[in-house]
Chains A and B, each alone.
Chain A
Amino acid sequence: MLAVDLLLTLAALATAGQCLLLPGLFRAVTNLMAFGLVMALIWVRLDAPDVALAEAAIGAGITGALLLTALGQLPASQRQLQHVNYRFPHLFIPITIIVLFIGSLVWAAMLSLPKLGLVKEIAATLPYSGAEHAVTAILLNLRGVDTLLEIAVMLCAVAAIWSLQQAIPPPVLAGVNYPGLTTLARWLHPLFLLTFCYFLWQGTHAPGGAFPAGAVLGAGGVLLLLTSNIEWMHQRAYNPLLRWLLSAGLLLFLATALSGFLMTGTLYGLPPPLAGYFIIAIEVATALSIALMLMTFYLFGRPGNWP
C-alpha cells in the first residue's frame, strides 16, 4: 500500500502545483477539481470516510462546478488573468526554504502531540451524547456550536451571492437543447433521495450524517435546477418561502442551543436523555437546509424576477 500512498501524495502535489503555477484560469479550476478528488482518496486512506465524502461532494463537485460557471461569466479577456511574471529559478530557493521551514514546524508540532488525541475522552462521553457515531456526536452535540457557525457561514455565502446580481435563468431556457440531461436528472433523482435518506439514517452509527446527505441532495437539486425542473425558485411569489426555508436550519439550530441553555444552564448543553431526539431533529433540518443552500448557489444571484 506504500506505493498507493506515495502515488496519491505525488498526485496531490502535482495537481496543487499545476493549479497554482499554470497560466489560465480554466486549467486552475480543472486542476482544483482533480485535487479535490485526490484529497478525497487520501482521506479514505487515512480512515476518515466522513471527510472523504464531504471533500468529494463539496470540494471536487459543487465548488468546481461553481468556479466553472463563474469562469463562463467572465469576458474572454479576463480568463488569462493569471499571467504573473513567474521566474522559476529566481523564486525556487526562497520557496524551498519556506516550505522546509513550515514542514519542520508541522513535524515538530506533530511529534509533540499526545498520540491518542481526544479519543478516550470522546469514547467516555459518547453514551451521553445521543449519537452512537463519534463524528456525529462531536458535530451535532459536543461541538455543536461549531456546526451552528458553519451553517451561519453558508447562509452568509447565499446572502453574498444574492447581493451580487440578479439570478441567471438555467441554460435550457436560453434555447440550448442538451440531449439526455433532463432525462438523466429525472431518472437519477429518486436515487439521490434514497442516498440522502440512507446517509441521514446512517449518521447516527456510522460515517454519514447531515453534511454528506445535504451535499448529495443538493447535487441532485442542482441537476434539476439546471434543467429548469424547479421553476418556483425563480418566481417572485415563492421568494419569501424560499428565504424562510433557507434560514430554517439555522433557526432550528439556534432554538436547540437556546433550549439547551434553558434546560441545563449552558448554551447548547443538551440533556442526555433527550439528546438523541434533538440530534435527529437538527440533523434532518441541517441536511435539508444545506441541500437548499447549495441549490441556491446555482441560481447565480437573487431570484424572484419572474412573476
Chain B
Amino acid sequence: MRELLAAGLILLGLPFFIASTLGLLRFHDVYARLHALTKADNVGLGLICLGLALQASSLAVALKILLIWGLILLASSTGATLISTSALQHGPSPLRLDDRDPDAGR
C-alpha cells in the first residue's frame, strides 16, 4: 500500500517537471520562463520528495528528504526574485498583454 502510494506520488510529480521543462524551452522571455520553472518545479519536486520519503527506511531519512524540499523551496523562490530583479534592471522589460506576441498562433 505504501509502495503504491509512493509510486503514485512520484508519477504525479513527473508531469510537472515535463511541463516546466517545456515552459523553459518554449516561453518567450525570462519572466515567463522563471514562472514556469519555479512554480512547476516546486510542486513536482514536492510530490517526488513525498513519494521518496514514504519509501524511506527510517523517519530520520524521510525528514531529511522533506528538508531538502523545504531548502529548495527557499532557494529557488529567492533565486527567482533575484534573477527577475536583475533582469528588470539590466535586461528587457516584461512583455505586456497589448504587445504584439511574435509567437502568437504558433
Interface on A for B, CB 8 Å cutoff? 176-181, 184, 187-188, 191
Interface on B for A, CB 8 Å cutoff? 71, 74-75, 77-78, 81-82, 85-86, 89
Assess whether B74 is in contact with A184, with CB atoms less than 8 Å apart.
yes
Assess whether B78 is in contact with A180, with CB atoms less than 8 Å apart.
yes
A50 to B78, alpha carbons, bound, how many Å?
29
Assess whether A181 is in contact with B78, with CB atoms less than 8 Å apart.
yes
Residues of A within 8 A of B81 (CB): 178-180
Assess whether A184 is in contact with B75, with CB atoms less than 8 Å apart.
yes
Which of B75, B77, B78 has most A Cβ within 10 Å? B78
A180 to B86, alpha carbons, bound, how many Å?
13
Assess whether A176 is in contact with B89, with CB atoms less than 8 Å apart.
yes
Residues of A within 8 A of B89 (CB): 176
A187 to B81, alpha carbons, bound, how many Å?
17
A180 to B85, alpha carbons, bound, how many Å?
11
A180 to B78, alpha carbons, bound, how many Å?
6
A179 nearest in chain B by CB position:
B81
A177 to B77, alpha carbons, bound, how many Å?
16
Assess whether B85 is in contact with A179, with CB atoms less than 8 Å apart.
yes
A51 to B78, alpha carbons, bound, how many Å?
28
Smallest beta-carbon distance B13→chain A, Å = 18
- State the 8 A-B residue pairs at the shortest beta-carbon distance, nearest first: A180-B78, A184-B78, A180-B81, A178-B82, A179-B81, A178-B85, A181-B82, A184-B74
Assess whether B82 is in contact with A187, with CB atoms less than 8 Å apart.
no
Residues of B within 8 A of A176 (CB): 89
Selected contact of B74 from candidates A177, A178, A179, A188, CB within 8 Å: A188
Assess whether B74 is in contact with A187, with CB atoms less than 8 Å apart.
yes
Smallest beta-carbon distance A176→chain B, Å = 7
B74 nearest in chain A by CB position:
A184
A187 to B75, alpha carbons, bound, how many Å?
11
A179 to B82, alpha carbons, bound, how many Å?
7
